Structure 1
Amino acid sequence: MLEDMEDGTAAATRLAEGAPLRSTLDVTDPGDWLLLDAGVREVAWYRDRPRLMPEWEPSAPLPADLTRLGESRLALALCHRDGRIRQEAVRRSAEHPGLLPLVVIRCADWAGPVRESARQLLREALGMDSALGLAPLILRVGRRDRGAFGVDLLGRVLRRASHERLAALFTDPDRVVRRFAYRLAVEGRLLGPAELARAAARDEDSVVQDLCATAALTALGDEEACEEAYEDVLPLLLSARNPRTRSAGVTGLRRAGRPEQAEPFLSDRSALVRACARYVVRQQQGGDPAAWYRDRCSAPDDPELPPGAVIGLAECGNRADAGLLRPLLAHPAARVRARAVAGLRVLDRVDTTLLRPLLDDPAAGVVRETAVALLPSATQLPADWLLERTGSEWPRHVRVGAFRLLDARGGIVALRAAVGLLADPDTKLRTWAGLSVQRWHPSADVRGHEAEAGDLLDRSGHLFSDHVLRRRKWEAGVDC
């Protein structure tokens, strides 16, 4: 497998020396063909290696007959800088099916005669089997200018494919290929609702998820859809790991006449799913998601309280609901505590005194949410208290949360904290501290601390050029 341009130029040189094509690159990898195409034009074999290709020096006339060339050298001719050589190589490529990938690339060639010759050959050569094999390359070339021809031709060929033939592309590692294949399958109605739902639940690409889930629900909307069809589709959608597919399943509950089944999804871990569930519940007569959330959050000691119900209350409640969230800051479950902090932030009911102790929470998620909630109030927190928590004896997540607030605070305190972390054993924290020092500029509170600022900047001098360091010290009122 070729990994970069240097590999492409090395492959071009090996082909010029007579190496077989299949031992030089992975002929099933579209990236290898594209790197070879670019590498041939980058490598200087036709300039400084005349012993390999003497007839293709820039000053030499065109080769009189390319039929004498073997597959390896014809591959080089298809990628040559001279458009006349590329055009003639395309004409001779019909006798070498293994070079069809390079013909695909030439279909988007900048030179019109080369492009037209390649397109004519591809029209004649592209069959069902070759289309399936070349689909990844054709779709990658299709992103280029003048690349639409190959994609259109591929679509015309694959629209004649059976479900079994097209299924080979459903598991392709390239998500662009999977998207293309599923669009053709949906367009041709090659997949039933259950198969579409299964694909939406299985695939990791959000475009495929949306496409297949929507198509599955659309198919259920047909007049012939029955209760049994919903039983085959909705459980697959509702149990999917990805939230897009679950949200489609929740929406489908309304279409299936089962809005009451959406209630458990009001506390889903995904905000998208929760929003869809609230929409469906509101369609019920008397459905009130806010009341449902308030009922769940009214027992602060409930060990079974789902974290999604906590943040869900904030998403659809009002500021008065902060009274239900505050007791949850002491809940035994870390995820509930974290969602309670996030909920107070959403409701704009952050109490600095109440949240400050949570910066010492043993759960990293709770500290992270607390730091985010306290960022607007960073200047109200005791600087020495925060600085103490950047010490190496504290857990990493506590140190990160404290430094995040100090960095947002700015001034001499932020510089003091950042310089103190420049030798920290944690690589990420050390890097973050260095960036903080580099973007630091003095604020009004530096007045009276000029000597300390100068000393801190000197300690971090390796992060600046001499000019920038002098300027920072001048800005801080330090005599240079």
Structure 2
Amino acid sequence: MWSAAEDESWGRNAAAGLLEGHESPAAALLAGNGPDAWTGFDREVRRLLRCHPTPEGGGRLEARLCHPDGRVRMAALAAWRNPPLELLLIRCADWVPQVRDRARRVLGRAVARYPVRNRDRARRALNRPVADDPALVLTALVPLALRLAGREHGGWAVEQLEAALSGRYSLLAAWWRPGLPSTTWSRNSLTAAQREAMLERLTGSADRPTRRFAARVAVACGQYGTRELARRAAAEGDPVTGRTWTDAALAAMAAGGPDDRAVDILLGSRSAPVRAAGVTALRRAGRAAEAADHLADRAGQVRACARWLLRQDGGDPYAHYRGLVTDRRRVTRYAVAGFREVAGRSDGPLLRALLDHPEGPVRATALAGLRGLGLVVEDAVLLGMLEDPSASVSREAALGLLGVAGRLDSAALADRTGPEWPPHTRRAAFRLLRGRGGSAELRACVAMMTDPDPVLGLYARSTVLDWNWLSTLDEGEAHQAELGALLARAAQVLDVRRLRLL
């Protein structure tokens, strides 16, 4: 995946080197970088030429193509036979109409002829292989075209690419001659094999906007079948692109009939929205009875779809969940979470019975479910669960006690912040001490400034730095002698000037 900041920085450095007289062409300096390197190069050249109109490398054609003066850019387009296609594409979104139109004509001819007629010369100049197939050149330009689409005149290139990939007409010969007959377009259009190869490369790009664009075009063209759409949806990590593939797969199944294999592919995805779509597709496939298998999915969205489907089939999700949480061998944390989503306050005893389950995640989810239902768990029980070996249980117990931290014994909580306790227990106790506020919080923060846990130490030091010591003294929460001792211990993190004032 490209880093936009690094690429832009690289482009600015290349622009500075070019204007300082670097011998390598811009294409060689920026080879292997993403689209932001080219836009950064263009902006930096323009900025430097405004500040220093006559630098050493200001006469280079790359610099003239990015010059602030539109007449200079126009002359560079007329004089340069083989300019970098990336700079040409940027000039196709130029704010000057004459420059913009000429750049589009030059780019059309360059894409059609440059790779083949000047392959050897380009390879020597750029020190990189140059593709024979114009479709490969177009593929490399797509990320930059998508970046330029946000500009006032930048949508043109994306429209042309989409039209070429759809097979409507050719970018290679008809860009600057819109009046050409359709027979001429068809002779110069990309072949079906070229379009398929371009879409395959674009859908596998590391650049998210490129994958989103390619997915949209491929779906519009009907490029893939139902199972391939489902496979791409299941494998896609970007939610937007995954939604495109998923909707297309569901539409294909609605039009062409259910496909069990495609449904199974959707259900096996790691993405929750894709799995949810697979659950809803079970109904059309005549497999609604399988909804019960997804009631304990790890994603709430999938569980909700499974409950809906089960109700549509005449089932009762509550009964299924009750059977899961009462079977200690089958119950999981996600089964408990699903039961909480359909349970009422009368189901508290079922959740309370899981507080001693051997699995920590089950105990933590049951505790969270009780809190979500508004059911009170005794302070003594929650204080005991602060020492639970599972960090998730200790965290949930602290959340349950946070609202009543003021009535807890601060000394007992402070004992649990000692180095002999595991980090999650110390964090839970410290959280409750901070929830108490006042001198109890200050004592805990001063004591834990040097805690080996970096998170606890950071929280403690930041609290001490922002503490209002005089307010604590005025409110009588601590004696002056005790505050003086705490201040002396906190001297290592306080500013000398502030410490002297205090």
TM-score (norm 1): 0.83
Q: Which residue does 1:225 correspond to in 2?
A: 257
Superposition deviation, residue 125 in structure 1: 4.7
Whole-angstrom CA distance in 2 between matches of 1:262 and 1:7: 52
Whole-angstrom CA distance in 2 between matches of 1:316 and 1:413: 40
SS at match of 2:386: helix
Whole-angstrom CA distance in 2 between matches of 1:380 and 1:120: 78
- Segments of structure 1 that go 5 or more residues without pairing to the other structure are 57-68, 474-479
Question: Equivalent of 2:144, from 116, 137, 140?
Answer: 137
Whole-angstrom CA distance in 2 between matches of 1:365 and 1:332: 13
TM-score (norm 2): 0.80
Q: Which amino acid aligns with 1:29?
A: G
Q: Which residue does 1:240 correspond to in 2?
A: 269
Superposition deviation, residue 409 in structure 1: 2.8
Whole-angstrom CA distance in 2 between matches of 1:427 and 1:204: 32
Q: Which residue does 2:115 correspond to in 1?
A: none
Q: Which residue does 1:151 correspond to in 2?
A: 158
Cα pair distance change 1:446/1:151, threshold 3 Å = farther
Q: Which amino acid aligns with 1:316?
A: V
Moved more, 118-127 or 316-325: 118-127
Identity %: 40
Moved more, 142-151 or 360-369: 142-151
Q: Is the 8 A contact 1:358 1:366 kept in 2?
A: yes
Question: Equivalent of 1:367, from 386, 394, 408?
Answer: 394
Q: Which residue does 1:19 correspond to in 2?
A: 24
Q: Is the 8 A contact 1:418 1:436 kept in 2?
A: yes
SS at match of 1:360: coil
Moved more, 362-371 or 460-469: 460-469
Q: Which residue does 2:405 correspond to in 1?
A: 378
Root mean square deviation of aligned Cα: 2.9
Asked whether 1:216 is paired with 2:216, we answer: no
Superposition deviation, residue 329 in structure 1: 1.2
SS at match of 1:3: helix
Q: Is the 8 A contact 2:235 2:269 kept in 1?
A: yes
Q: Which residue does 1:329 correspond to in 2?
A: 355
> Where do 1:123-202 residues align within 5 Å?
125=110, 128-160=135-167, 162-202=195-235
Question: Equivalent of 2:320, from 292, 314, 317?
Answer: 292
Moved more, 449-458 or 262-271: 449-458
Q: Which residue does 2:82 correspond to in 1?
A: 96
Moved more, 196-205 or 82-91: 82-91
Q: Deviation per CA, 1:63-119, whole angstroms, max 9, x where unpaired?
A: xxxxxx7xxx222222233333233333445x215x111122233344454444434
Q: Is the 8 A contact 1:79 1:86 kept in 2?
A: yes
Superposition deviation, residue 151 in structure 1: 2.2
Whole-angstrom CA distance in 2 between matches of 1:368 and 1:49: 65
Q: Which residue does 1:87 correspond to in 2?
A: 74
Q: Is the 8 A contact 1:9 1:43 kept in 2?
A: no
Whole-angstrom CA distance in 2 between matches of 1:341 and 1:254: 34
Whole-angstrom CA distance in 2 between matches of 1:323 and 1:181: 53
Q: Deviation per CA, 1:234-272, whole angstroms, max 9, x where unpaired?
A: 110111122111111011112223211010110111111
- Segments of structure 2 that go 5 or more residues without pairing to the other structure are 112-133, 168-191
Q: Is the 8 A contact 1:131 1:158 kept in 2?
A: no
Superposition deviation, residue 202 in structure 1: 0.7
Q: Which amino acid aligns with 2:40?
A: L
Superposition deviation, residue 201 in structure 1: 0.9
Q: Deviation per CA, 1:154-205, whole angstroms, max 9, x where unpaired?
A: 2222222633431111111111111111111111111111111101111111
Cα pair distance change 1:448/1:343, threshold 3 Å = closer
Q: Is the 8 A contact 2:16 2:44 kept in 1?
A: no
Aligned length, in residue pairs: 445
Q: Which residue does 2:172 correspond to in 1?
A: none
Whole-angstrom CA distance in 2 between matches of 1:159 and 1:353: 68
